[in-house]
Amino acid sequence: MRIYRIRKFPTGIFLLVLAVIVIVFNSKILPHIEGTAFEIVIKPFRILKGVKSCFFRPDYLEENTRLKQQIGALSVALTRMNELKRENERLYDVLDFKKNLPYDVIAARVIARNPTDWRKSMVINKGKRHGINEGMPCATTRGLIGRVEKVFQDSSRIMLITDPNSRIGVLLEDSRESGLLIGSPPGECRVIYLPLDGRLAKGEKVVAAGFNKRMPKGMVIGEVVAIGVENSNLYRYVIVKPFEDAGRVEEVLCIDVGQ
């Protein structure tokens, strides 16, 4: 016996057909349905248009642009004020330092550095016209940084103590051992020709020995951070870390100790 199965008609299709029949044969409510459907569809767009008109009005956009410009200008002014504050603090320290020195001091500003190595030399904005002479020691409020190597009419070049060509006679403050301070590429210095039996210690201050009449005795330079023995085993040496990082110096004091 053959059994016939009755296929179920999809409910969704049935409801859709029923809705079309009702709409077609009930023309009285058709305009109302069309209007309601249109309003339902278009209403979100009208809301978005109203929101857009609130946030994107030409006068609001102009005000926003103006406020952004004011914020930028205030940010620049604040940065400038902070820089002036730091500069005034440095200059105050310089003036205080000058008062405590028994020599004439000429303050100058760094205007250029060695393009290949900032730890070798720098150029300042004072020269012959301002009383700068070759050989003048140069320092900051923290310590000696070098000496005037070349003088021009309105500028001068300073050889830094970290330049490998620099040579300065020094004393180790506690042990009173004397040696020769030379520069080294990493930005530190070495004191060579120290005796093997010297009582050297890390943390000991290194000062100018005053062997050169142009270099004031006792001017601080740095501190000992390492101790070693030369390859020849005839002398010891120490590594000195300068108190001042010459690569960050902005103002320099040129010291005139007289001829």
Least confident of 113-122, 128-137, 173-182: 113-122
Q: Identify the pLDDT of residue 206.
A: 96
Q: Identify the pLDDT of residue 68.
A: 77
Supply the mean pLDDT for the chain.
Answer: 79
Is the CATH number of domain 167-244 1.10.490.10?
no
Q: Identify the pLDDT of residue 227.
A: 94
Domain spans, the chain: 103-162+249-256, 167-244
Three-state SS annotation for the chain = CCCCCCCCCCHHHHHHHHHHHHHHHCCCCHHHHHHHHHHHHHHHHHHHHHHHHHHCCHHHHHHHHHHHHHHHHHHHHHHHHHHHHHHHHHHHHHHHHHHCCCCEEEEEEEEEECCCCCCCEEEECCCHHHCCCCCCEEEECCEEEEEEEEECCCCEEEEECCCCCCEEEEEECCCCCEEEEEECCCCCEEEEEECCCCCCCCCCEEEECCCCCCCCCCCEEEEEEEEEECCCCCCEEEEEEECCCHHHCCEEEEEECCC
Q: Identify the pLDDT of residue 67.
A: 76
Indicate the pTM of the whole model.
0.64
CATH topology of domain 103-162+249-256: Thrombin, subunit H (2.40.10)
pLDDT tens per residue, range 44-88: 555 555 555 555 566 667 777 777 777 877 777 777 776 666 666
